[in-house]
Amino acid sequence: MIRTIKKTLVVVFFSLIFFSEKGIYAELRNVRSFRIKGRVLKVVSIDINGDKLPDLICMSSVQDHSDLKYFSLFYNSAQAGLPYKPDKELKIQGVSDTFTVTDVTGDEGKEIIFQKDKRLKVLSFGNDTLFNLIDCLENKDALYLRENQIIKVKGSKKELHVYTPSTIIIFHKRSGVLTFEEIPYLWGRPLTPILLLSRLPVVFRGRIKGKNRIELMTVKHDKIQIFDTVQNTRTWSLVKNEPDTTLFFGVDQVSEEEVLSEKKNLLLEDINSDGFTDVILVRVVKTVSFKERRELYVYLNKSGVFSINPDNIFISEGLYTGFVTGDINNDGTKDIVTYSIPLDYMQIPAYVTGNKLLVRFKIYPCKKKSGFSKRALEKVSFKISTNILKNKEIKVSISGDFNRDGFRDLMLLLPWGKMKIFLNNQQGGFNEKEFIVAAVPANSRFIINDFNNDRAEDIMLWNSKQIILMLLNRR
């Protein structure tokens, strides 16, 4: 009874402090909460049934580290939006802690793919059936996976990547038929499962050499490999044996929240909108004083040839340095926003600064022909409490348009439970005064999407508790 009262008070509290046309601490009349069985492990917003509306899939577990998982599915409708209770709820034993979503059967719907009992399984919500991924292939004997081979499964758009100790297996559809290709690792003998988990390579698909061709790029430690899918050749590119270069993160392309929550030291994206995939790389450099300095390099891809001398963008020395990309000035290219806590500011005692630290944002605009500006436009800085310095992170996004003016705004999610939104000033930067300050669940993850189909972007928040909150942007 006491727990129910607490959860009710939390929902009521959130409903008093979010969106309105005036902005700060305004009333939101429609905050939806979704009650989930157990602790929430992962939430994905994606169109499941092919009606072009964002549905909701949630994986939860009643106990920590339990292999008994619940899958809750919420179907979105054009009239009512997402329902309060799940339309379907399935309980499956022996499931790993993550899943991916893709169209395996070719019916324009989406299926859930996960690892169960060390085998790949496909869950179809259409008829609640669970079947082996291998059974989808026409030639079932063409590929044989032993139980101890599967290390990790990741989804990338309409492809599925399966990692084994010796190869990367990519499932994709050609002419409506599910097929696969095996690509062996090029950096030595097969790895043991334990080593592979810690040294897992990153796989990207992109237009590297031609606008009508898709190449495969893998990243491991200080090397980048490019596989030409047309000529079946392998080439080395960009980085060779640079000991100061560290590559950490990978992109699932399932939800933007997952991308932003990773330590972003590498990104493959068409930055200048010329049809070719470019590379953004963060180089970690040890200084004389044994501190770390992070330098951001942009390698522009010009008709399949990467620039030899990349644009160097200095991020900063300090903690919580990172970057995000997005079109801030609506010119069709991706600009870069870096954020950091300056090192010189961190050295000031907390009692002098009033127990606050400064977080500084710098904006680097990109032009289609000339590339990035070497001079940053510093537009936003603010002070935050020092308690974030204990193994917690700041989440940043520039993907949402929250006041519906056609420009992307800056959203900041602080780990102890506060959200700040800075509006785009339509001049290549952001306003320094907060548009919104709201209390949110601590250590929240987020997804930005139009969940109630009113052409205004909303925010969905969740952590490891039982409740998912959907904050609706009142139009």
Fill in the amino acid letter for 83.
P
Fill in the amino acid letter for 386.
T
User: What is the per-residue pLDDT for 431?
Assistant: 86
Instruction: Name, in order, each residue with C-beta under 8 angstroms of 353's C-beta and a sequence gap of 6 or more.
Output: 345, 383
Q: Would you state the torsion angle of the CA atoms of residues 55, 59, 60, 64, taken in this order, to the nearest 10 degrees?
A: -150
Fill in the amino acid letter for 431.
N
pLDDT at 368 over 90: no
Q: Is 418 helix (H, G, I), strand (E, B) or coil?
A: strand
Q: What percent of the chain has pLDDT over 70?
A: 53
CA distance 450 to 467: 19
User: What is the per-residue pLDDT for 430?
Assistant: 87
User: What is the per-residue pLDDT for 23?
Assistant: 38
- Domain range holding 87? 36-200
- Which candidate, 448, 432, 341, places its Cα nearest to that of 394? 341
Task: Give the pTM.
Answer: 0.73
Q: Is the dihedral of CA 303, 304, 305, 306 positive or negative?
A: positive
Out of 54-63, 192-201, 418-427, which region has the weakest mean confidence (pLDDT)? 192-201
Q: With respect to residue 94, please indicate whether it lies within any of the assigned structural domains.
A: yes
Q: With respect to residue 179, please indicate whether it lies within any of the assigned structural domains.
A: yes
Write the pLDDT tens digit of every residue in 17-30: 444 334 333 333 46
User: What is the per-residue pLDDT for 224?
Assistant: 57
Fill in the amino acid letter for 402.
F
Phi/psi of residue 325, nearest 5 degrees: -120, 150
- CA 173 and chain centroid, separation: 24
CA distance 402 to 407: 9
Q: With respect to residue 107, please indicate whether it lies within any of the assigned structural domains.
A: yes
pLDDT at 371 over 50: yes
Q: How many domains does the chain have?
A: 1
Average pLDDT, the chain: 69
Q: With respect to residue 400, please indicate whether it lies within any of the assigned structural domains.
A: no
Q: With respect to residue 232, please indicate whether it lies within any of the assigned structural domains.
A: no
User: What is the per-residue pLDDT for 464?
Assistant: 83
CA distance 446 to 454: 19
Burial 347-362 (b: 16+ CB within 10 A, else e): eeeeeeeeeebbbbbb
Instruction: Name, in order, each residue with C-beta under 8 angstroms of 46's C-beta and a sequence gap of 6 or more.
Output: 54, 55, 57, 101, 110, 254
pLDDT band at 247 (very low <50, low <70, confident <90, very high): very low
Write the pLDDT tens digit of every residue in 257-296: 333 333 456 677 788 888 777 777 777 666 666 566 777 8
- CA 331 and chain centroid, separation: 24
Cα end-to-end span (Å), the chain: 36
Select the more confidently predicted residue: 445 or 279: 445
Fill in the amino acid letter for 471.
L
211 is written with which tokens?
């606008």
- CA 167 and chain centroid, separation: 25
User: What is the per-residue pLDDT for 32?
Assistant: 81
Q: With respect to residue 402, please indicate whether it lies within any of the assigned structural domains.
A: no
pLDDT band at 467 (very low <50, low <70, confident <90, very high): confident
- CA 5 and chain centroid, separation: 34
Q: With respect to residue 361, please indicate whether it lies within any of the assigned structural domains.
A: no
Select the more confidently predicted residue: 375 or 326: 326
Out of 245-254, 383-392, 438-447, which region has the weakest mean confidence (pLDDT)? 245-254
User: What is the per-residue pLDDT for 409?
Assistant: 92
Q: With respect to residue 331, please indicate whether it lies within any of the assigned structural domains.
A: no
Nearest 5°: the CA angle 24, 30, 32 is 110
Out of 39-48, 189-198, 293-302, which region has the weakest mean confidence (pLDDT)? 189-198
Write the pLDDT tens digit of every residue in 211-236: 555 566 665 544 556 655 555 554 44
CA distance 128 to 261: 32
Per-residue CA distances from 143 to 155, 183, 201, 233, 409 (Å)? 19, 13, 22, 23, 47
Out of 104-118, 145-159, 307-321, 394-408, which region has the weakest mean confidence (pLDDT)? 145-159
pLDDT at 376 over 50: yes
Q: Is 260 helix (H, G, I), strand (E, B) or coil?
A: helix
CA distance 24 to 437: 6
* C-beta of residue 460 within 8 angstroms of C-beta of residue 446: yes
Select the more confidently predicted residue: 334 or 167: 334
pLDDT band at 245 (very low <50, low <70, confident <90, very high): very low
User: What is the per-residue pLDDT for 164?
Assistant: 73
Q: What is the mean pLDDT of residues 82-111?
A: 80
Q: What is the mean pLDDT of residues 59-65?
A: 85
Listed ranges 3-17, 72-86, 190-204; the one with the highest mean pLDDT: 72-86
